Amino acid sequence: MPSTGKLGISRWTLVCALLACWLLACGGGNAPPDTTPRPDADVLTFDAAMLGRNDGGVTPSLDSGRDVPGTRDAGTSDSGLLCAIGRTGTTASGTRTNFPQIDITSDPRFRVVTAGFFVDRDGDPRGPLLFALLELENVSTQSFCSLIPDAYLDGVELVGLVETPAHYETAFTSSVTADCMRPGERGFYDAVARGVDVDDLQTARRLDFGFASTPYVADSTLAFPAPTLTVEAESTPEGWRLAGTMVPPRTIRNYAMRAFARNADGIPNARLLAFPGSLGTLAGGVPNDVETLTTPCAIASFDAYQSWIDDSRRALTVVEPRPELAMRRALERRRQALIDPL
């Protein structure tokens, strides 16, 4: 299997970045891909046809802020990641995926637009690692924040979170951007499970996606002003990655980029992370280099989300009890524990 590259910063920097995040609580077949217009126009989107354009063909993107996950993630394994598995098709319910025999059912307020399933035979004694990336669309008339997902593949629990463009919740204004989905907006559910191999995916029949608790209804607005992000997909000897620059509109900290890559069929195939500035303070108007991990999976397009803390908003902060935030952080820890080898 192709091998992946290493993150372009030192191990000590990574340790410092993860510690800083914990302390600061910072909040990425043959039929054509889905081209339905998206209302979340501030999400940076990329298509391989943009390569070679001087302007990059991209617009600023946004994301939600929370604890930064580990450095090994969906689509960026160091060994055994299988990219070209399954066959692209459409499920009976209309989801485009590489395993179309899987009947994907969802909470009626959300539509699963695309779904990618990939396996990493990393030698862990718990068995192969399954990555499931589901692109969701809010088809309801309500805005939701801090979603606590609950999903099972033929009875096997998937552990992960919903990630979206960055918003400020109007009910709980904060310096940290939040995970929210307004009517018509899209986000990604990125989840993992252990002990699921390719043959299990080939015989799988049902994926149920819902929520462990009633979705939290909250009004929200897209976070603005957002850092100007200009990144492109590039092929390197170690694999594919995203690289470019980010310019904050004013001084920010705890910046992170999360990007969801797609293959040529439009199927999500990797979640790529970058932390320029190592979660420290970034001066407004100053360009910062952005570079993700590499993945053996070819990148034809991607959606990139950003997250950051803007201390100039701290005077607007309203302190309210938020029990669902603790639930989200617990899910993040469980997800990373499954990814990290024993």
- Whether 2 is in a domain gets the answer no
**Residues 105/128, Cβ–Cβ less than 8 Å:** no
The pLDDT value recorded for residue 17 is 46
The Cα–Cα gap between 162 and 15 comes to 25
Domain range for residue 301?
11-339
28-71 pLDDT, tens digit each: 334 444 433 333 334 554 433 333 222 222 222 323 333 333 34
- Whether 185 is in a domain gets the answer yes
- Whether 296 is in a domain gets the answer yes
Q: Which of 336, 329, 333, 342 is nearest to 146 (CA)?
A: 329
First to last CA, the chain: 21
The Cα–Cα gap between 147 and 212 comes to 9
Number of domains comprising the chain = 1
The Cα–Cα gap between 63 and 177 comes to 7
- Whether 1 is in a domain gets the answer no
Look at strands 288-291 and 166-169 and give their pairing.
Answer: unpaired
Residue 340 per-residue DSSP state: S
pTM of the model: 0.77
- Whether 280 is in a domain gets the answer yes
Token pair for 282? 């970034």
- Whether 5 is in a domain gets the answer no
The pLDDT value recorded for residue 69 is 36
Number of alpha helices (DSSP H) and beta strands (DSSP E) in the chain: 3, 23
> 141 to each of 144, 146, 206, 218, 279, how far by Cα in Å?
10, 17, 27, 12, 35
Which residue is associated with the tokens 């009633």?
Answer: 214
The pLDDT value recorded for residue 202 is 96
101-135 pLDDT, tens digit each: 999 999 999 999 999 999 999 999 999 999 999 99
The pLDDT value recorded for residue 166 is 86
Low-confidence spans in the chain with pLDDT less than 70: 1-80, 170-178, 314-322
The pLDDT value recorded for residue 272 is 95
